[in-house]
Structure 1
Amino acid sequence: MAERAKRKSASPRKKKKRISGKAWFYGLFFTAVIGIVCGIIGYLLIILNGERLLEEHGSKLEFGEASIIYDVNGEEISRLYTAVDHREVAEFSEIPEIMRQAIVATEDERFYEHSGLDFWAIGRAVVKDVIARSAVEGGSTITQQLAKNVFLSADKTFFRKATEASIAVALEQQMTKDEILTMYLNRIYFGKGISGVKAAADFYFGVELKDLELWQAATLAAMPKAPNRYNPINDPEASMNRRAVVLSLMEKHGYITEQEKLEAQAVVYTPPANQEQMKEGSYHAFVDFALEEAMEITNLSEAELRVSGLQIYTTLDQQAQKSVDEQYANDDNFEKSVDDQIAQSSMVIIDHRNGEIKALAGGRDYEMRGWNRVDKLRQPGSAIKPIVSYGPALESGKYFPWSTLTNDKECFNNYCPSDAWGPVPVSMTDAIKQSRNLPAVWMLNEVGIKNATAFAEKLGIQLEDEDRNLAMALGGLTKGASPLQMATAYSVMANDGKSVDPHTITRITGKNFEWEYKAPASKQLMSPETAWYLTEMMQSVVAKGGTGARAAIDRPVAGKTGTTQHGIPGYKGDGIKDAWFVGYTAEWTAAVWMGYDKTDKNHVLQKGGGQSAAALFAKVMGPALKGVEKESFNRPAEAKEDKPPATIANFKAVFVEEEVKVQLSWDPLEASGLTYEVYRKESGANDFVHFVDAVTTNVDDMSVFPGVTYDYYVVAYDAKTEQRSEPTQTLTVTIPEVELPTDIPMEPVPTDSEPTEPGDGQEGQPGEDGGGQGEDGTGQTEPPAETEPPNETDPGAGQGDGSAGGGDAGATTPPPADDALGDFLNGLESGGE
């Protein structure tokens, strides 16, 4: 063992061959040389290619070919010019230093250091993209952006990016930094159809370029990344947030102080008076909405999209849009404001059969203000009830439009909604027709928050965690819902419960781009029966007596109103914050919202509410649908019919004097499981009372009294559907009076006399009213042990005995006071109506 270990230790080891330092040096040296040579060659190729392109297209100082937007019929409605008509060329000397600093700090912080390509920025962008595994940051310099905007189309390919780099380097070789920056600021797009910083200063602030203040310069510098999103007209809040980012970058690079930053961040934007003069284009709100959609489809920025030479085909129906524009231009359709902040509104119309958005209104004076309210969230009020209360209840299969909501509570777990009717049982149809609050909350409580939330979110209504309580039955949501979201949700009801995909673009074509809309697979979001029941119920809202009666037009309409209270702390006055009507015909769905952009005690709606929104719906939809073929709402074959039982036939009411009762009878109905409800009213009473329920077709009223008149009618009741038939005709029965004579002496009746033989009907003759006396005039007998009723088939029975039971074996003691009372007690036949 030791010998083997010694031999092993003595065996020679294999030595690894080491690379000498000299070899390492030469290897690295030649690798670096090759890399440098390749870099130089590549750089020279870039420069040469850029020089060639500049030589060929150096005079191309205009924007690319404008994209064109068409309506649903292929008619041109707008050209997406880059606003050359609204561009003013500024000299370098006119551009204030604060504007140049703001754009450099935001778009290209190393602008004065690189030669067209910022390799540090490119490297940083590559690293971030690799980490994020997606393109999260770009490395384009101002010079590259200028090359792209001036000389190139907007297609995003490797060769386009390489060409962009070539032109950028060539531009840096032929132009100074100041010239490049000036050209860039003259050509940059600032949204709203405005190009160039000089025109932008005038349009957005009403000032000369040289007079721009810090906050204004920062606002403009914030816009190139997303002109439509970050301009202060379309979205003031997003503009302020982006402006704050620009100011922070300016402070970081030493252009401004912290105090200057804070002051500029705090300024609130107000549009200038001359802005109206710079408007252009038709159907501006629709075009802006379609533009946003096209940007998502093409993955291009707005500036790129405008110069792409694309043909964008949309769903716009000019007849519908003109109807919208006409009514929104009519101030009589809206409440008058106490100042220059006008009452606002928005509307969107969707063809729910295919999801095409036919028309929309972003607001009154939209072109001036630019805030597209179609996709802005507001509190939906009672318009949410079909979505969170009644829809889920119907979908459960446990409730129907005719179901009675017992609604026996005023408070639910310490939540006490107000309702003018109080906790009164009501059918679901009447509850929605009259927009009652307590039934909606009661119904949501029965359905459950979880089920209601799931149902609403399927329809596109997003609910926050804090919304998941009973208050959502009345539309008390944290963020609310937009007119587009509400119209989409109601479109599902109108589309037999199937999903609807709202869109404005059907096709986009271009030199290097082809796209066509393909509808996503349809989903059944609610049963066709639920959709039908909701439609059926909401048609009552538009009928006489409904809260949305003013929405009625010349074709069937279903819909729901909604209002929300102002909710202003400390303000005790009346006022409405949001007013809605969301409704649909068999062809199109529309949502109308009214209110103020900023609600305070001086800016709340004081009248009309949902009724005003309903009236605007009718004024727009009537002309908009002119010429559109009328269709009918689809009733599914499986839907249960809201049909009461048939009216009862052959109703009779007869007074049976022998038994002192009124006998009621009628023909049976074919339907099974019915109950017959008998109603009675006696003379002197104001109303009928529910007398008795029966499962057979005859009832005896044994509680009648002489001299009283009784009225009767009967209805059939179906417990399954909770429906009642129409009442029968009312029948009247008068019970005869009993007159007691006063001239008949009363004689004692012997108690020990032998019974006399009853008359045989020959010697004794019946009295005038049918009573009988014996020959001796007394007809007195011992009372039998048990009296039997007279033989109804033997009219002569009991004649001549003078007893009280005509046909009894003998009279009881004492005898009747007179013949009339005897006749009554003997039950002689008498008819009644």
Structure 2
Amino acid sequence: MRNKKKKDEKRRFNLTKRWKISLTIIGILLVLALIGFAAILYGGRLIVNEEALILDTTTTIETANGEIIGKLYNENRTMVQIDQIPDHVKNAFIAIEDRRFYEHGGVDFKSVFRAIYKDILAMSKVEGASTITQQLAKNLFLSNDKTWTRKSKEVMAAIYLEQRLSKDEILELYLNEIYFGNGVYGIETASNYFFSKSVDDLSIAEGALLAGLAKAPNGYSPINHPDKALNRRNTVLHSMEAAGMISTETRLVEEGKSIDLAIQKLQANPWADSYIDLVMKEASDEHELSIDELKRGGYRIVVNMDDNTQQIAYEKFQEEPYFPGNMAGVEGAFTMMDQETGKIIAAIGGRNYQLGDLNRVMVKRQPGSTIKPIAVYGPAMMKTDKYQPYTLLPDYAIDHNGYVVSNADNVYSNAVTIYDALKYSNNAATVWLLDQIGIDYSKEYLQKMGINLQDEGLAIALGGLSEGITPLQMMESYRTFANAGKMIDSHTIDRIYNKNGEKLYQAEPSETEVFSPQVAWNMTEILSEAVETGTAAAGEFSKALAGKTGSTEHPFVKGQTKDAWFVGYTPQYVMALWMGYDKSDKEHYLTGGSSYPTSLTKAILSEMDSRKPLAESFTKPDSVKNLPKPILLPEITNLQASYEFGGFSIIKGKLSWQGSDDERVIYRIYREEDGIDTRVGEIEGETEFIIDNALFKSNRYYIVPYDPLTKLEGIRSETIELSW
């Protein structure tokens, strides 16, 4: 009995010991498992790049009416949220790529063991067992090589992702990340590319076709290999049926459908390239959005381009007759904005412009005479007590401390009004006027318009600058005349949205007063006349237009032109057009002057007008007065003199003559007596004058017409004697 008792005790002890050992082993295994799992998670964390989870998304540039004119991307992808993707589309990918997606924790070990078995038999890596999570990890963080090291990293990254993200988040990333061939990334972009519809409009068959591309987008391409694509699509439909996602009846119906593609090719819009580059520069300069950020960030940028105007300008810039040069390669730049809002509706940076080229809209050029209104005449007329449109200026060659200026035609009239000096682009009077108002005073006004000059000489008056002014700046500066003297910053971007559709920016441009409304209106009337009968009369445009031409002399070829300009405005738009060579040397010069950019601008406006009528005339603001029309002093002819009886004077002298129909003309009557000419009277608008007590006075008289606007006398008449 005692021995039996001892044996029982020994048996219980051994059993207890075995349990303790087993529990210890289990505990150690659990600890090792936890350590291993922690190691996997830690390894996965090291592999996973958090930034890579933010997928590169295409930025679109579109007009106000929703037309996409450009896309910026590293990978052409439009993000879509998981709840926007139909269940049958999600199920198609799950059925063919990872049927146990919602059951595993990132790695499907059943599939892994099967793949390992086949790899061992083949003594190489021949079969994958990647889950959707593993595919996502590989695509985001790893290379595509088939090695055990890469596979181990893939497993660790997948397990880490499963711990960090929900199944829906993983599936959303996966469907947005997939490459579908033809430069297309993500399910939404693929839907639009292959079927011209959004993902939420895809049918079961269409969703199955896209799911079939995930494995080999080029091999199963419905464009290049339609038969393979059809078979692959049907394989996906069978997988969906096997997984209970669709019925047999549905599968048969969908299998019977042909592949009806509606390819949405990415159209090249060369006519928009200049504008797009201007948008990218504005995004960078004003909104701190670099090109790299735009290519990754998925922004939606709504711009102010009017696509009709942009295309009209682009097409006109292709017409050779508008670009006179001794050699091929004459370039040009054109920009136009809405004068009320500052929205840039068109921008042409070159005649054959491609993205990234030199955008001549932003290149500084010598402005020539287009600077006269903003640097000289506008500022001068702000001194209302000294300078009005009909103020006389000296018109002859004056030596300004060694700087002698001549008129373009070398013709002088001794005196000229501000009105005519600007209308006919008189050089001598302009330089004289700048000298009178002062260079510093002029530059103060230019600075208000965003133009900062380092130059200090009187050559500023004629646009002879060390650096120059851009077409964009010239356009903005003339807006002051188009809109009551106020400056506004031009802009291409109206709104910016992030990839989640949240508005980040809305343009609200502010204005700066530069000139008074009266000076602005005076300038509009003068520059309108310049277009009608002055230096800007070239070309054809029947509606309202005010503007100024400009040209610069070629530095190496005497008598030829380096830069040619027209800057102007209609009641709706302000524009600037430059033409010339990028490189000005003895071999490159314009053979025509400012009449060419003037004619080209009018051709653009005429085409715009034919599609949507432009304004017939400028509307005078209520707060300003119209500028009187210039008075043309007549030549006095048919002067006659006679005596008359009657009245208090008993004998009166009567003078009559042929003058002007303009009743504003004043006629001054002069008497010659003993070598002294005396003005005895004047009369406005009439061509008769009565001389009292004429019998007892000298009887020799002559008439001089007088302009009350310019305070200038005209040519005197012949002398006539009163006689019986």
Please give the range of the TM-score, normalised by the shorter of the 2 chains. 0.5 to 0.7
The alpha-carbon deviation at position 489 of structure 1 amounts to: 0.4
The alpha-carbon deviation at position 561 of structure 1 amounts to: 0.7
Residue 70 (structure 2) aligns with: 78
Contact 2:521/2:624 (8 A) holds in 1: no
Answer yes or no: is 1:443 the counterpart of 2:430. Answer: no
The alpha-carbon deviation at position 72 of structure 1 amounts to: 2.8
Q: Deviations over 1:715-768 (max 9, x none)?
A: 5653xx33689999x9998866xxxxxxxxxxxxxxxxxxxxxxxxxxxxxxxx
Residue 654 (structure 2) aligns with: 663
Contact 1:353/1:587 (8 A) holds in 2: yes
Answer yes or no: is 1:303 the counterpart of 2:303. Answer: no
Which runs of 5 or more structure 1 residues have no equivalent in the other structure? 1-41, 86-146, 153-165, 172-192, 194-277, 667-672, 682-689, 737-829
Query: How do residues 622-633 of structure 1 correspond to structure 2 at under 5 angstroms?
Result: 622-625=606-609, 626-627=611-612, 630=615, 632-633=618-619
User: In the aligned structure 2, how far is the partner of 1:64 from the partner of 1:281?
Assistant: 25
Alignment RMSD, CA only? Answer: 4.6
Residue 283 (structure 2) aligns with: 294
Q: 1:458 aligned to 448, 460, 485, which one?
A: 448
User: In the aligned structure 2, how far is the partner of 1:417 from the partner of 1:371?
Assistant: 34
Answer yes or no: is 1:366 the counterpart of 2:362. Answer: no
The alpha-carbon deviation at position 371 of structure 1 amounts to: 0.9
When residues 680 and 426 of structure 1 are mapped into structure 2, their CA distance, relative to the original with a 3 A threshold, is: farther
Q: Secondary structure at the match of 1:406?
A: strand
Query: How do residues 227-246 of structure 1 correspond to structure 2 at under 5 angstroms?
Result: none
Contact 1:487/1:582 (8 A) holds in 2: yes
Residue 126 (structure 1) aligns with: none
Structure number with larger C-alpha Rg: 1
Answer yes or no: is 1:425 the counterpart of 2:412. Answer: no
Q: Secondary structure at the match of 1:577?
A: strand
When residues 645 and 57 of structure 1 are mapped into structure 2, their CA distance, relative to the original with a 3 A threshold, is: closer
Contact 2:547/2:568 (8 A) holds in 1: yes
When residues 48 and 395 of structure 1 are mapped into structure 2, their CA distance, relative to the original with a 3 A threshold, is: same
Q: Deviations over 1:649-708 (max 9, x none)?
A: xx9965128999843489xxxxxx996413899xxxxxxxx9846257644675558xxx
Answer yes or no: is 1:557 the counterpart of 2:523. Answer: no
User: In the aligned structure 2, how far is the partner of 1:430 from the partner of 1:645?
Assistant: 12
User: In the aligned structure 1, how far is the partner of 2:443 from the partner of 2:698?
Assistant: 55
When residues 655 and 47 of structure 1 are mapped into structure 2, their CA distance, relative to the original with a 3 A threshold, is: farther
Contact 1:661/1:704 (8 A) holds in 2: no
Residue 348 (structure 1) aligns with: 335
The alpha-carbon deviation at position 543 of structure 1 amounts to: 1.3
Q: Which moved more, 1:278-287 or 1:400-409?
A: 278-287
User: In the aligned structure 2, how far is the partner of 1:469 from the partner of 1:479?
Assistant: 13
Contact 2:342/2:489 (8 A) holds in 1: yes
Q: Secondary structure at the match of 2:414?
A: coil
Residue 606 (structure 1) aligns with: 591
Which residue type is aligned with residue 421 of structure 2?
A
Query: How do residues 517-536 of structure 1 correspond to structure 2 at under 5 angstroms?
Result: 517-536=506-525
Residue 578 (structure 1) aligns with: 563
Q: Deviations over 1:742-801 (max 9, x none)?
A: xxxxxxxxxxxxxxxxxxxxxxxxxxxxxxxxxxxxxxxxxxxxxxxxxxxxxxxxxxxx
User: In the aligned structure 1, how far is the partner of 2:40 from the partner of 2:681?
Assistant: 104
Residue 487 (structure 1) aligns with: 475
The alpha-carbon deviation at position 532 of structure 1 amounts to: 1.0
When residues 699 and 716 of structure 1 are mapped into structure 2, their CA distance, relative to the original with a 3 A threshold, is: farther
Residue 529 (structure 2) aligns with: 540
User: In the aligned structure 1, how far is the partner of 2:389 from the partner of 2:450?
Assistant: 24
User: In the aligned structure 2, how far is the partner of 1:714 from the partner of 1:373?
Assistant: 54
Contact 1:528/1:636 (8 A) holds in 2: no
Which residue type is aligned with residue 599 of structure 1?
S
Q: Secondary structure at the match of 2:371?
A: helix
Contact 1:677/1:717 (8 A) holds in 2: no
Q: 1:379 aligned to 366, 369, 373, which one?
A: 366
Residue 312 (structure 1) aligns with: 301
Residue 803 (structure 1) aligns with: none
Contact 2:620/2:626 (8 A) holds in 1: no
Contact 2:57/2:76 (8 A) holds in 1: no
User: In the aligned structure 2, how far is the partner of 1:644 from the partner of 1:376?
Assistant: 38
The alpha-carbon deviation at position 636 of structure 1 amounts to: 5.0
The alpha-carbon deviation at position 409 of structure 1 amounts to: 5.2
Contact 1:501/1:519 (8 A) holds in 2: no
Residue 322 (structure 1) aligns with: 311
Residue 684 (structure 1) aligns with: none
Contact 2:284/2:291 (8 A) holds in 1: yes
Residue 637 (structure 1) aligns with: 623
User: In the aligned structure 1, how far is the partner of 2:447 from the partner of 2:613?
Assistant: 32
When residues 388 and 46 of structure 1 are mapped into structure 2, their CA distance, relative to the original with a 3 A threshold, is: farther
Contact 2:56/2:73 (8 A) holds in 1: no
Q: Secondary structure at the match of 1:367?
A: coil
Which residue type is aligned with residue 632 of structure 1?
F
Contact 2:670/2:680 (8 A) holds in 1: no
Residue 133 (structure 2) aligns with: none
When residues 693 and 557 of structure 1 are mapped into structure 2, their CA distance, relative to the original with a 3 A threshold, is: farther
The alpha-carbon deviation at position 492 of structure 1 amounts to: 1.4
When residues 645 and 281 of structure 1 are mapped into structure 2, their CA distance, relative to the original with a 3 A threshold, is: closer
When residues 359 and 727 of structure 1 are mapped into structure 2, their CA distance, relative to the original with a 3 A threshold, is: same
User: In the aligned structure 2, how far is the partner of 1:597 from the partner of 1:43?
Assistant: 63
- Structure with larger RCO (C-alpha < 8 A, sep 6+): 2
Residue 128 (structure 2) aligns with: none
Query: How do residues 746-825 of structure 1 correspond to structure 2 at under 5 angstroms?
Result: none
Residue 211 (structure 2) aligns with: none
Contact 1:348/1:357 (8 A) holds in 2: yes
Which runs of 5 or more structure 2 residues have no equivalent in the other structure? 1-37, 78-135, 142-152, 159-182, 184-266, 658-663, 684-688
Which residue type is aligned with residue 331 of structure 2?
Q
Contact 1:345/1:592 (8 A) holds in 2: yes
Q: Secondary structure at the match of 1:580?
A: strand
Q: Secondary structure at the match of 2:544?
A: coil
Query: How do residues 31-430 of structure 1 correspond to structure 2 at under 5 angstroms?
Result: 48-51=44-47, 64-82=56-74, 282-338=271-327, 342-367=329-354, 370-397=357-384, 398-407=386-395, 410-419=398-407, 420-422=410-412, 424-430=414-420
TM-score by length of 1: 0.51
Q: Deviations over 1:233-258 (max 9, x none)?
A: xxxxxxxxxxxxxxxxxxxxxxxxxx
Q: Secondary structure at the match of 2:612?
A: coil
The alpha-carbon deviation at position 297 of structure 1 amounts to: 4.7
The alpha-carbon deviation at position 363 of structure 1 amounts to: 0.6
Which residue type is aligned with residue 384 of structure 1?
I
User: In the aligned structure 1, how far is the partner of 2:48 from the partner of 2:508?
Assistant: 46
Q: Deviations over 1:151-195 (max 9, x none)?
A: 59xxxxxxxxxxxxx99x989xxxxxxxxxxxxxxxxxxxxx9xx
- Identify, as 1 or 2, the structure richer in strand: 2
When residues 80 and 52 of structure 1 are mapped into structure 2, their CA distance, relative to the original with a 3 A threshold, is: closer
Which residue type is aligned with residue 82 of structure 1?
N
User: In the aligned structure 1, how far is the partner of 2:405 from the partner of 2:715?
Assistant: 36
Answer yes or no: is 1:677 the counterpart of 2:668. Answer: yes
Residue 768 (structure 1) aligns with: none
Contact 2:484/2:521 (8 A) holds in 1: yes
Q: Deviations over 1:601-653 (max 9, x none)?
A: 1101122x1111101110112223442552624345343642579999xx996
When residues 540 and 646 of structure 1 are mapped into structure 2, their CA distance, relative to the original with a 3 A threshold, is: closer
Which residue type is aligned with residue 469 of structure 1?
G
Residue 619 (structure 1) aligns with: 603
Which residue type is aligned with residue 579 of structure 1?
A
